[in-house]
Chains A and B, each alone.
Chain A
Amino acid sequence: MTIGIEHILAVSGLLFVIGFFGVLLRRNTLVVFMSLELMLNAAMLALVGFSFFNATMEGNVFVLFIIAVAAAEVAVGLAIIVALFRRRHTVQLEELVSLKG
């Protein structure tokens, strides 16, 4: 069976949607952050797949940059979460609601 562009799109789209709903629906800060990374990884997978089907290298190069950016975002995000944990001793999102929207 030949892998076509629709298979790449389906798998990465599925991962992306899982990550998207993870960010919106989960209550633990760390799990939300993991879902965020999942979304970025889904986009990376899509880019590599599309790069193959377009027969150019630009997608792969973009992925290298996204990996670096995702790592920096993780470093910063985890530092913020650790700082928040030290103040509030919780990582449950529903307890972090002193800012009223």
Chain B
Amino acid sequence: MPDAPYWPFLVYATLVLTVAGGILVLSSLLGPRHQERVTGEPYESGVPPTATARLRLSVKFFLIAILFVIFDLELVFLFAWAIAIHELGWPGFWGMVVFVFILAAALVYEWRMGSLDWTERSAQARLRERREAFAKRQQENAAP
């Protein structure tokens, strides 16, 4: 490996530190100097905060994130195979088919288990009822 110059990194690091440090130092020197009780509270346009900002998130976000990670790694292997596809030929193809089939079986499992549903089944049923009632009313209004 040829010797790459080393000093640009040092210059860059120094620049980063200078800019970031300079912003902090300047803002503390030139900024307001209040230290009252309300200075530490979060700013909400002058309205006092009513509750904590933490939300209780539904677990479906976690599920979707994990599913994404797993299928993303399947994609990594697909990329690696795609690069070597000519050397691997037909046996490589069938090997990859088995791999993708196993992951497709996992997808079928998740589909049936309801991990891919964004709304719960009861909410879906209610939505469907409302849609049908709306369509029926539209028909009745259009007929006469």
Contact = CB atoms under 8 A, between A and B. Distances in A.
Interface of A: 1-3, 64, 67-68, 71-72, 74-75, 78-79, 82
Interface string B1-13: 1010010000000
Contact residue range for chain B?
10 to 19
> Closest 9 A-B residue pairs measured CB to CB?
A75-B66, A68-B73, A71-B73, A71-B69, A1-B6, A2-B3, A75-B70, A64-B80, A75-B69
Contacts, number: 26
From DSSP, what is the main secondary structure of chain B's interface residues? helix
A67 B69 CA distance: 11
Given A1-B6, A2-B3, A82-B62, A68 B69 contact: no
A94 B18 CA distance: 41
Interface string B43-67: 0000000000000000100100010
Contacts of B76: 64, 67-68
